[in-house]
Amino acid sequence: MRHGVILGVVLLAVMFALSPAHANYLTTTKLGEGSVSPSVGSHWYVWYTKVNVSATPAPGWVFDHWEGSFAGQPASFSFRSTSDKWACAVFRPVTPSSATALVQYVGATDAATSYVINDIDGHTGWDGYEMTLTSQNWRSTAEVDRTLWQHDMVMARPWFHGDEVLYLINGGSYPLKHPSPDGTIAAAAIALGSIYAQIDQVPNQPLYFADEVNNARTEDEVLAYSLDKVLTTGDWTWAAHAAMVKAAVKGMNFIQKEVKTADKFIVVGASKRGWTTWLTAAVDPRVACVVPLVIDVFQLHKQVEHHWEAYGSYSPAIQDYVDFDLFCRAANDPLAPDLQNIVDPYRFISKFTMPALIINGSSDQFFLPDSSRFYLDELPNQADMRLRYFPNKDHYMEGVIDDYDNIYQIFSWGFNQVYGYDNPYIDWTVDGNGAITVTTSKTPDSVKLWQATNPTARDFRLETVGAIYTSSDLPQQGNGTYIGYCPPPAQGWTAYFVEADLGAQVFTTRIYVTPDIDPFDGLGCWE
């Protein structure tokens, strides 16, 4: 009897020691071309286990350094698992170029980087974190008034959660606001058992540059100024886009250090933060899904050419870039290809193998409604690429982003993708006449054809023509397909797309315009 009790105690002790709850975690990631072992992700080890760690560069790259727990260690080494560890292997190219400039900037060491948890607020079922991230020093005090980029960060952490993080790259201005997690977003995350995290002040703003007099630059004003500096000086690190990506990556590092099991990030961002979403996915392997909103910037030179040739001028929305003549310079400046290597997501298109849910407004004032034509079919993961256009919504998507149902749909789509659960989907083809044939993976609640006609201009912006998109129901064709078609109007242009409500999700085709003619074709500065 005595021996049985002793044996039982020993077995319980062994089970206790071997359980993940009483193990040490090693979380690994990388920047640059190469591989790490253990692979990118979270791994747990029984106390005092010997763990072999290595970083192997790809051809043309070399190991540079470890960031995190193993700073100062060589590329390959061993350690005993006695506490949680986080480490990032940073590789650098043998021959640096503009094509590697983005990941080089993100991976460069910066002594300013730091993380502070200001408060943890307990709620029923979840904890709210209020945090401050210092991501980097950008430029020098001789160039800009405030070099230190600091960010508010919040996190809603359910008591029971998986290894995915719904990560929003957000805007906002300095000074820091110390916000709490958004209740609506937190509710959607908790309903799914997912962690929600948000980083603000991307980019840091306002900024006052030394060669201007009392000019507080924000948003596109900062980006346009920085791109001008790239073309003027040839210094790639001037691109504020790179600093925005570095901030997003450092935010993910912060989250992983607090949540040891977090290793899959569903990254969401709107407008220039959507731009950052794409570029972050290009350099960071922890990005499992992307949800970029209102940002069609693939093949920038073609986008701008199409924009001007449709309108015969530039939309007031992009005036900050016009002020520096960036669009004509981007077509003609010798440094333009280098600039595109840094900021154009199209240059990284082979990296976008993760699922993507692309969300746009049909009536955006920055981008034409059919601007996705320049990249959509070239994304490598066509099977997991989804698109949704919101009719009669412009760049600011009023009433869309703050709606619980829309937020929940975005989160649940990402959740299902991460865990390999079934997501409904649509496929479509378009024939030579412009007829869109749609098939759905399940019986839809409804399928609609949305269309808008402008008799005088190839212009469907909400700010110029109003909410002119109207819908009509499409009947099933008897074989599970739906066909949407708009003939060319007697005068002007018609934009149209098909929307399928699948219950859990709503998806659309891309927008087509008929006739597919730009009225000012061939008249731009790039001809």
Other CB atoms within a 10 A radius of the CB of residue 362 amount to 24
Residue ranges of E strands in 104-249: 114-123, 126-137, 148-158, 164-169, 195-199, 207-208, 216-217
CATH at residue 487: 2.60.40
Looking at the fold, whether 277 and 170 belong to one and the same domain comes out as yes
CA dist., res. 161 & res. 109, Å (int): 32
Alpha helices in 423-465 (DSSP H): 462-465
293 shares its domain with 150: yes
Q: What CA–CA distance (Å, rounded) separates 412 from 290?
A: 13
pLDDT number for residue 524? 78
Cβ(436)–Cβ(484) below 8 Å: yes
Choosing from 397, 422, 447, the residue where a domain stops is: 422
**pLDDT score, position 2:** 43
CB of 118 closer than 8 Å to CB of 144: no
The residues facing 428 across adjacent strands are: 438
- Do 246 and 286 belong together in one domain? yes
CB 379 within 8 A of CB 304: no
Is residue 48 one of the residues assigned to a domain?
yes
Residue 470 dihedral angles phi and psi, to the nearest 5°: -125, 160
**Do residues 362 and 453 share a domain?**
no
Are 73 and 155 part of one and the same domain?
no
Task: With respect to residue 59, please indicate whether it lies within any of the assigned structural domains.
Answer: yes
Strands 385-390, 216-217: pairing is unpaired
Q: Which of 509, 436, 496 has the alpha carbon at shortest distance from 468? A: 496
Closest CA to 201 of 225, 170, 167: 170
Alpha helices in 19-169, H assignment, sequence order: 101-107
Residues 450 and 384 in one domain: no
| Listed residue (486, 523, 507) closest to 427, CA to CA | 507
What is the reported pLDDT for 11? 38
Alpha carbon distance 100, 56 (integer Å): 18
CA-based angle 472:477:479, to the nearest 5? 140
Cα(339)–Cα(318) distance, integer angstroms: 18
**Distances, alpha carbon 235 to alpha carbons 98, 105, 228, 332, 341, in Å:** 10, 12, 10, 18, 13
One domain for residues 455 and 411: no
Query: What is the rounded CA–CA span in Å between residue 373 and residue 158?
Result: 40
- Per-position pLDDT tens, the chain of length 527: 444 434 443 433 443 444 455 689 999 999 999 999 999 999 999 999 999 999 999 999 999 999 999 999 999 999 999 999 999 999 999 999 999 999 999 999 999 999 999 999 999 889 999 999 999 999 999 999 999 999 999 999 999 999 999 999 999 999 999 998 878 888 888 889 999 999 999 999 999 999 999 999 999 999 999 999 999 999 999 999 999 999 999 999 999 999 999 999 999 999 999 999 999 999 999 999 999 999 999 999 999 999 999 999 999 999 999 999 999 998 889 999 999 999 999 999 999 999 999 999 999 999 999 999 999 999 999 999 999 999 999 999 998 888 899 999 999 999 999 999 999 999 999 999 999 999 999 999 999 999 999 999 999 999 999 999 999 999 999 888 999 999 999 999 999 999 999 998 999 999 999 999 999 998 777 65
Same structural domain, 402 and 265: yes
Do 246 and 305 lie in a common domain?
A: yes
DSSP state of 28: E
Q: Number of structural domains, the chain?
A: 3
Dihedral-angle region of residue 68 (phi above 0 means left; psi in -120 to 50 means alpha; beta otherwise): left
Question: 237 and 129 in one domain?
Answer: yes
Domain end marker among 392, 422, 452 = 422
Q: Is residue 344 part of a domain?
A: yes
Helices (H), 299-452: 300-311, 319-322, 326-332, 336-343, 404-419
Which of 62, 71, 125 shows the shortest CA–CA distance to 94?
A: 62
Note the pLDDT tens digit of each residue in 428-468: 999 999 999 999 999 999 999 999 999 999 999 999 999 99
Question: Encoding tokens for residue 383?
Answer: 């099977």
DSSP conformational letter for 98: G
User: Which of 405, 422, 439 is where one domain is finished?
Assistant: 422
Of the candidates 190, 193, 196, 146, the residue with the CA atom closest to the CA atom of residue 170:
196
Residue 524 lies in a domain: no
Q: Do residue 154 and residue 84 come from a single domain?
A: no
Separation CA 46–CA 64 (nearest Å)? 30
Query: Exposed, middle or buried: residue 141 (CB in 10 Å: 0-12, 13-18, 19+)?
Result: exposed
Specify whether 484 is located in the same domain as 392: no
Evaluate whether residue 527 is within a structural domain.
no
Q: From the CB of residue 142, how many other CB atoms can be counted at a distance below 10 Å?
A: 7
pLDDT, tens digit, 9 for 90 and up, residues 365-411: 999 999 999 999 999 999 999 999 999 999 999 988 888 999 999 99
Whether residue 113 is contained in a domain is answered as no
- Torsion sign across C-alpha atoms 361, 471, 504, 126: positive
pLDDT of residue 380: 97
Is 291 a domain residue?
yes
pTM over 0.85: yes
Q: What's 31's DSSP letter? A: E
The answer to whether residue 521 is domain-embedded is no
3-state DSSP of 107-126: HCCCCCCEEEEEEEEEECCE
174 neighbors 145 (Cβ within 8 angstroms): no
The range of the structural domain enclosing residue 374 comes to 125-422
Beta bridge partners of 66: 89
Residue 69 phi, psi dihedral angles, 5° rounding: -65, -25
Residue 3: per-residue pLDDT = 44
